[in-house]
Structure 1
Amino acid sequence: MSLKLQKLRQQIEGEELDAILISAPENRRYMSGFAGSAGWLLISPDDATLATDFRYVEQAGNQAPDFSIYRIQRGLGWFPEWTAEHGVKRIGFESQDVTVSVHNAFLKAIEEAEDSNNPELVPTSGIVEKLRVFKDADELALLTEAIRIADEAIDEIAPRIEPGITEEAVAWELEKAMRERGAEMISFDTIVGAGANGALPHHRADETVIRQNDAIVIDMGAKYQGYCSDLTRTVFVGEPDDKFRKIYDIVLQAQLAAEEQVTAGMTGKEVDAIARDIIADAGHGDEFGHSLGHGVGLAVHEYPHVGPTAEDDVLEDGMVFTIEPGIYLPGWGGVRIEDIVVLENGKARVISKAKKL
């Protein structure tokens, strides 16, 4: 039995469940290794089943050796059959992933089944996600490769950005550079915010033409064997002026302080405050409106939370998360700098290696 299954079964017992139904794609892949786009995991104390349709049966058998493979014919009739066969009554489902219509379909399948044991569907939230927060050596190796890909891509493309090119063109060049280095896809739509667009933290790259003396916020990431990277750098076309240097230095100071001072046992709120206080003391507290960071793994945003409301997120060794302070000035632009770190031996080790100004 894998360590992941062992830990999940302990969680199931703690929740007083007989089994759990896993539907979220990242959780399904984490627990089983199955990377297909359709399927359900059913895990009880003495069984682990992956139910999927004919398109993925062979793939599931290859990727999920710890699971029995159940071929779904049609509908959800397989679910009450499985619960009756394994004698389980209280079954947790991932309430953050299962829609109301799908939940109703499960209830209907239970009601219509001839030999149903009338199981109870119990909403749960965050059970597998909180297991995913700790990265083992294999996961860390995949994350490190995804981070390397993005680091090298921006270090190649950023120096080539010249006036006259569009944000969309820069985003495309970055994506090509990541794919050429082994990325299976991008982690999310690449953000390229030039000039005043940099004041929009999640600006979508568009046809805006980059001009001389523009600051450009670039937020990008590569996906490698399912694992995501997330990187932000702010670059400047031309010679940075005094205002840009001032804002950039504040953000960089805040980021480096958080990276150097974070220790295992601190909460996400406490780490956020390290950077936020520096930015606030410099007079820009109102211009830093998002959290300092977030976990990264199979999803680009996952546990732990690192922000002003993360008083319950205690950071521990083995956790991987971003540190990304920013300042955004409407009509002028913005500066954000983002690294991914892993807590090891109580301190943060910075994995991101892309150049900073």
Structure 2
Amino acid sequence: MPFYALPVIQELRAVKSAREVAFIVRAQRTSEMVLNEVVRKLKLGVSEIQLARFIVARFKHYGVKALAFEPIVAFGKGSADIHHWATKARLKKNQVVMFDFGCTVNNFCSDMTRTFWFGEPTKKFKRVYGAVLTAQKKALKLLISGEKRADKIDISARKFLHKKFGKSKFTHGLG
């Protein structure tokens, strides 16, 4: 009978050494530098493709040899698709902007998703954004208290959002 090893391997890889954590931190810090630069490029009329190309160029500038995945840049309704492909869509006033990108350092990846509002945010956006921020803070409290398992941290945020919005399925984890 075949043995399905993935759960065992995932369990073994869940805890990282100090050296592995340092690689992940370096990848994340590089991603944060790129994010700070790309946010300054948010101007009326810029396209998703232009920003995605800018992200790739900035990672190369910082010496990154491999991206974790193709950068995702999405405006408006496209931001609801976590696996959106950048298009020629141009940024308009009062739109959601979503970035999802990361890089690798010695085969360890960063994966960062950030959402912004370009213009004056709607009440609905503020409400949802506030709830997601609260869920993140609850998850961070667990992390600060010493919890190391990502699945437990993720569940705490999901439970809060489920109570707030009644949704039980989310297409993406916290990380």
TM-score, normalized by the shorter chain, greater than 0.5: yes
Report the equivalent of 1:29: none
Q: Distance in 2 between matches of 1:289 and 1:194?
A: 20
- Pick from 121, 129, 137: which aligns with 1:240? 121
Decide whether the 8 Å contact of 1:162 with 1:212 is kept in 2.
Answer: no
Report the equivalent of 1:61: none
Post-superposition offset of 1:242: 2.3
Q: Distance in 1 between matches of 2:133 and 2:47?
A: 26
Per-residue CA distance 1:127-161 (angstroms, 9 max, x = gap):
54443322112211111111111011001111221
Whichever structure has more strand as a proportion of its residues is 1
Would you say 1:272 and 2:154 are equivalent positions?
yes
Distance 1:137 1:201, change over 3 A: same
Would you say 1:197 and 2:78 are equivalent positions?
yes
Alignment of 1:206-355 (within 5 A): 206-262=87-143, 263-264=146-147, 268=151, 270-282=152-164, 284-286=165-167, 289-293=170-174, 322=175
Structure 1 vs Structure 2: percent identity of aligned residues?
A: 26
Report the equivalent of 1:187: 68
Decide whether the 8 Å contact of 2:96 with 2:115 is kept in 1.
Answer: yes
SS at match of 2:74: strand
Decide whether the 8 Å contact of 2:75 with 2:95 is kept in 1.
Answer: yes
Structure 1: 5+ residue stretches without partners: 1-121, 294-321, 323-357
Distance 1:143 1:281, change over 3 A: same
Whichever structure has more helix as a proportion of its residues is 2
Decide whether the 8 Å contact of 2:147 with 2:153 is kept in 1.
Answer: no
SS at match of 1:236: strand
Would you say 1:169 and 2:50 are equivalent positions?
yes
Larger Rg: 1
Q: Distance in 1 between matches of 2:148 and 2:36?
A: 34
Distance 1:287 1:177, change over 3 A: farther
Distance 1:274 1:218, change over 3 A: same
SS at match of 1:160: coil
- Pick from 96, 118, 142: which aligns with 2:23? 142
Post-superposition offset of 1:209: 1.5
Distance 1:227 1:266, change over 3 A: closer
Q: Distance in 1 between matches of 2:85 and 2:125?
A: 22
Decide whether the 8 Å contact of 1:153 with 1:177 is kept in 2.
Answer: yes
Per-residue CA distance 1:277-316 (angstroms, 9 max, x = gap):
322332x2328522533xxxxxxxxxxxxxxxxxxxxxxx
Post-superposition offset of 1:266: 6.7
Q: Distance in 2 between matches of 1:125 and 1:218?
A: 33
Post-superposition offset of 1:213: 1.1
Decide whether the 8 Å contact of 1:188 with 1:221 is kept in 2.
Answer: yes
Distance 1:128 1:162, change over 3 A: same
Q: Distance in 2 between matches of 1:241 and 1:211?
A: 14
Per-residue CA distance 1:314-346 (angstroms, 9 max, x = gap):
xxxxxxxx2xxxxxxxxxxxxxxxxxxxxxxxx
Q: CA RMSD in A?
A: 2.4
Would you say 1:125 and 2:5 are equivalent positions?
yes
Alignment of 1:74-153 (within 5 A): 123=3, 125-126=5-6, 127-153=8-34
Structure 2: 5+ residue stretches without partners: none
Q: Distance in 2 between matches of 1:170 and 1:276?
A: 30
Q: Distance in 1 between matches of 2:154 and 2:123?
A: 27
Q: Distance in 1 between matches of 2:68 and 2:36?
A: 18
**Could you say which structure has the greater relative contact order, defined with CA pairs below 8 angstroms and 6 or more residues apart?**
2
